[in-house]
Amino acid sequence: MERIREAFERALAAALPGQDIVLERPKSGDMGDLAFPCFRVAKAVGKNPAALAQELAADQELVASVEKVGASIVATGPYLNLKLRPEVRAKVILGSLLSDRPYGAGVRNGKKVIVEYSSPNIAKLFTIGHLRSTMIGHGLVQVHRYLGFEVVRLNHLGDWGTQFGTLLAAYQWVPEDNKELEKPLVNLDSGRLFVEESSIEKRRTPLYRLFLLYTLFHAEEADHPELRDEARAWFRKLESGDPEARRLWKRFRDISLSEFQRIYDRLGVGFDTLEQGEAFYEAMLGDVLKRLDAAGLMVEGEGGAKIVDLSDVGIETPMIVQKGDGASIYATRDLAQVTYRKEAYTFDRCIYVIGGEQTLHMQQIFATMEKLDPWFKGRLVHTPFGLIRLPEGKMSTRKGNVIFLEDVLDEARERVAAVIEEKNPDLPDKARVAELLGMGAVLFFNAMNDRLKPITFEWDRVIALDGDTGPYVQYAHARIMSILRKGATDLSLSDDAHFDQHARPITPPDGDATAFIQYKQVNFSAIPFDDSNPEPVGLDSPFAQELLFELAGLPTAIRMAQEQLQLAPIARHLLQIARAFSAFYTHCPIYRGGFDDRNVQRWRLALCVATARALRQGLFLLGIQAPEEM
């Protein structure tokens, strides 16, 4: 389609010299393959947009130019639409999707992008709230790599800060015979009787007990405010290098990272390093404060705190960079990490996938860094997202009212497993398929939702298996694989028509822009894709043409995801492809009713292969696998 697009752009540029030519994608294949909205140009030349479209449609040089690529043009209101002949649309789209090059992928563009995402706090379990940052970030990594960017994947772990004072103080309550946290928490040394509520085996872990200590401490703090002083004292010990505080901090961090990695492995998420959390920048904080002072940006605020006044750039809330007692604050650590990343990576763009509630904080950080060094202007990008809330309100780790991510993934898997037992009990590798579909339901739900809008957690919505869901798209892929298996037998096609589906798709660590899921070569030797070969047959029906139109739109959806920094364009377009395939397969027989035109069968199977590749590629960008059978 790029060749067609470029030809249309050149023809329009010749007809409209000096005007910007911006093409869009029509809403349906019936309207055409490319659309030129005439509004902007019409205003510039003082004409009515609809009249300009009519004038262009009658331009014989423009008509002749598009006819050379097998297309026609028609004015539809204020739009000039280009529509490919059915056989040209089929050859162009199938030729692109069944080539050796990943469909819609970019070439290396020499630009380096940092994506910071997930960033959980140490000593806390993953909740459903962590899903958004983790999987939005992972998807943006995949998309940027696919489009040719070099990507650095960073996880700014919350492994430093006053919450560790809380945890260290609470840990002092643990009896000596349970310092490894291998046993349930009962009869704490503080005199408090605490019974570990969870009887679930997977919760009987040291990390879960650290989480319980954290929530217990905050519950007690409400009635015993003096506990806050204990927490502050322990954090000061940690900052000053107290050996016992540092030993415990390292142990809590190691326990947490081990559990985090298990969840990341299950999600298929990776990072280039887990060693650049908040603690990594501790030794750099002094230099940051000196730099702020030397630049005349740091002044004294209330209670002796050090602040940066940003009112001159429209931010009325000052940013605290050091507390009155001399303790550091996370803003100081963020300033240090931005400074370090410039020195270490010399990036073109640094994308922070952080919740919308941190918008003010990110504005303060960006404004301060731009004051310190104009190099940062336009390079730092906050990608906020709406929180996942419970029906009764915001989740709170301190209060313990959270939904654990692993519970959601497990429940989704079990619901799928029950459906499999009911409908296809002989399905091979049932446990693996249940995991893939359950994961697909949860991750697609996250991708489908507008990034900026908050989500109210409801079990039936998050792990739905019917309707506009991940399993619906996964089913379309599995259905095609079944068709191809039948084709390999009934049409004596090469065994290579069977895709290698069991290797987990992984983007190469070097971030190769051409990274995509590898297929075994599909040998449709009778189906040509160059101009010297016969025209396709059996693909001129409206249903085949609409499917081809939707396939043509996937690269646009991928680019939109990169530009908008959200995954919804890809998820929603995959649904469009899956729906179009269902209609195509219903109305365009391949085997049914004694239909045995081998040439038509082969072309329609080629469209099935192209659709499977597009679905699988799109799901991969979202972090979702496509099963071969369901």
Distance CA 206, CA 123 (A): 9
pLDDT at 191: 57
| Cα–Cα distance measured from residue 230 to residue 85, given in angstroms and rounded to the nearest whole number | 76
For the chain, what are the domain ranges?
A: 2-84, 116-389, 460-621
What homologous superfamily is domain 2-84 in, according to CATH?
Arginyl tRNA synthetase N-terminal domain (3.30.1360.70)
Q: What pLDDT score was predicted for residue 617?
A: 93
What value does the CA radius of gyration of the chain take, rounded to a whole number of Å?
29
Report the pLDDT value the prediction gives residue 516, as an integer from 0 to 100: 39
Question: Given this model, what pLDDT does residue 1 score?
Answer: 83
Burial bucket for residue 576 (CB in 10 Å: 0-12, 13-18, 19+):
middle
Judge whether residue 412 has pLDDT over 70. yes
- Mean pLDDT of the region 368-375: 96
The string of pLDDT tens digits covering residues 391-405 is: 766 655 555 567 889
Amino acid letter for position 447: A
Fold of 460-621: Isoleucyl-tRNA Synthetase; Domain 1 (1.10.730)
pLDDT more than 70, % of the chain: 87
pLDDT score at 448: 94
Q: What is the pLDDT of residue 326?
A: 81
Q: What is the pLDDT of residues 196-223, one digit of tens each?
A: 555 566 667 899 889 888 888 888 888 8
Q: Are 143 and 562 a contacting pair, CB within 8 Å? A: yes
* CATH class name, domain 116-389: alpha beta
Query: Quick one: DSSP state of residue 117?
Result: -
In this prediction, residue 567 carries a pLDDT of 97
Provide CB contacts within 8 A for 306, sequence distance 6+. 289, 292, 298, 299, 300, 320, 321, 322
Q: In which band, very low, low, confident or very high, does the pLDDT at 28 lie, cut at 50, 70 and 90?
A: confident
Work out the average pLDDT over 118-136.
Answer: 92
Please check the confidence at residue 593 and state whether its pLDDT lies above 80: no
**Residue 327's pLDDT band (cuts 50, 70, 90):** confident
Question: Is the Cα dihedral 237, 243, 248, 254 positive or negative?
Answer: positive
Mean pLDDT of 182-188: 79
Average per-residue pLDDT for the chain: 87
Q: Which ranges in 222-374 belong to alpha helices (H)?
A: 226-240, 243-267, 285-294, 330-345, 359-372
Mean local confidence (pLDDT), 443-460: 89
Q: How many residues does the chain have?
A: 630
Average pLDDT over residues 57-82: 95
Higher pLDDT, residue 117 or 463: 117
Mean pLDDT within 599-623: 91
The dihedral sign for the CA sequence 169, 170, 173, 176: negative
Closest C-alpha to 436, from 268, 195, 263: 268
Amino acid at 193: L
**How many other CB atoms sit within 10 Å of the CB of residue 336?**
23
d(CA 412, CA 470): 12
pLDDT at residue 557 greater than cutoff 60? yes
Main-chain phi, psi angles of 320, to 5 degrees: -80, 130
In the prediction, which pLDDT does 389 show? 80
Return d(Cα 217, Cα 210) in angstroms, integer.
Answer: 11
Q: pLDDT band at residue 517, thresholds of 50, 70 and 90? A: very low
Average pLDDT of span 484-509: 44
Confidence (pLDDT) at 442: 93
In this predicted structure, the answer to whether residue 321 has a pLDDT above a threshold of 80 is yes
pTM beyond cutoff 0.75 = yes
Both tokens assigned to 576: 């469009």
State the pLDDT at residue 393: 63
**Lowest mean pLDDT, pick from 40-54, 435-449, 515-529, 569-583:** 515-529
pLDDT at 325: 82
The rounded percent of the chain whose pLDDT value lies above 90 is: 66
Distance CA 452, CA 386 (A): 5
Extract the tokens encoding 575: 């649904």
- Strands 79-84 and 34-37, sheet pairing: antiparallel
pLDDT for residue 513: 34
Token pair in block for residue 570: 């890809």
